[in-house]
Amino acid sequence: MNVDVCFSPKALTEDAVKGKIVVVIDVLRACSTIVTALAHGAREVFPVADRGEAGRVAAQLDPETSLLGGEQGGQRIEGYGAGNSPLEYEPTLVAGKIVVLTTSNGTRAFTSLKGPAETVVGCFLNLSRVVDFLRELDEQTNGVDENPHVLILCVGHDGCAALEDVLCAGMILHRLWSGRAPSGLADGARIALTQYRSVHSRLARSLFNCAHTQRLIALGFGDDVAYCARVDAIPLLPRYDENLLILDVADKERARELVSALPENEEELAEAVEV
């Protein structure tokens, strides 16, 4: 398998994306929010590039069965039903709804991709699920040729790299290759892998020191960071298909099981936390 890692959508050319399997990573917080909303029963998430587009899309939808979500400067946009905190996307708010989502960088990354073969969502919450997806792809084509070509797109922040996304990409590659990287690795993949390996024993601290973590803490969203750092908490793989982020049938079933296992009252919640 041919894998490379890119550190900002702004660094991508059309050729770099065309025909590739793309894993979009925005740990803090768009991809974590998307995975959570779909796990909690949202019908689909419609990522849009900006507020204007969000307004146009939302105007076509029934407000009873849709939710407008997103942030600007990290804060919920005035008049929206939710911000970009994954913790807001509870089943009671999102189940059965289309979520129209606009964020500063993450949702734009999806809408900017031109001609990928397939696009999926990655973050720490569904990390092993992404690894399994890549492994399956590799097995399907094993020995046939050098395909598939995979591009892990770290969304970053305003055109620059974001360490939390790079660490997530590196962890995916570390697990994909069970610690033994193949020869002839592309430089982007090597950078992500090396960065992850250099801090993996103190990952939580490294995530705490990331610039966007510090921004979110300053805005009062420290709990979001702790939530987004939960590796493998939501083993679902959202796919980007015809402008929408959706789960396949098997993952929808898994999502239903996840939601039914959620604590229903404070007593159950206390027990779950103790475990």
* Residue ranges binding ligand MLT (CB under 6 A): 26, 28-30, 71, 74, 84, 103-106
Residue 123 beta carbon to ligand MLT: minimum distance, rounded to whole angstroms:
10
Q: Which is nearer to ligand MLT, 30 or 236 (CB)?
A: 30
Residue 72 beta carbon to ligand MLT: minimum distance, rounded to whole angstroms:
9
Residue 171 beta carbon to ligand MLT: minimum distance, rounded to whole angstroms:
19
Residue 107 beta carbon to ligand MLT: minimum distance, rounded to whole angstroms:
6
Contact 265, 271 (CB under 8 A): no
Q: Which is nearer to ligand MLT, 4 or 71 (CB)?
A: 71
Residue 53 beta carbon to ligand MLT: minimum distance, rounded to whole angstroms:
14
Contact 99, 44 (CB under 8 A): yes
Q: What is the DSSP letter of 5?
A: E
CB atoms inside a 10 Å sphere around CB 61:
15
Q: Which is nearer to ligand MLT, 71 or 88 (CB)?
A: 71
> Where does residue 137 fall: left (phi above 0), alpha (psi -120 to 50 degrees), or beta otherwise?
alpha
Query: What DSSP string describes 243-269?
Result: TEEE--HHHHHHHHHHHHTS--SHHHH
Tokens standing for residue 11? 């660094």
Residue 246 beta carbon to ligand MLT: minimum distance, rounded to whole angstroms:
19
Q: Which is nearer to ligand MLT, 83 or 148 (CB)?
A: 83
Residue 28 beta carbon to ligand MLT: minimum distance, rounded to whole angstroms:
5
Q: State the Cα–Cα distance between residues 57 and 101, nearest whole angstrom.
A: 10
Q: Which is nearer to ligand MLT, 12 or 30 (CB)?
A: 30
Helices (runs of H) and strands (runs of E) counted in the chain: 13, 10
Q: State the Cα–Cα distance between residues 207 and 134, nearest whole angstrom.
A: 24
Q: Which is nearer to ligand MLT, 134 or 216 (CB)?
A: 216
Q: Which is nearer to ligand MLT, 159 or 263 (CB)?
A: 159
Between the CA of residue 212 and those of 208, 222, 243, what are the distances in Å? 9, 11, 27
Contact 4, 220 (CB under 8 A): no
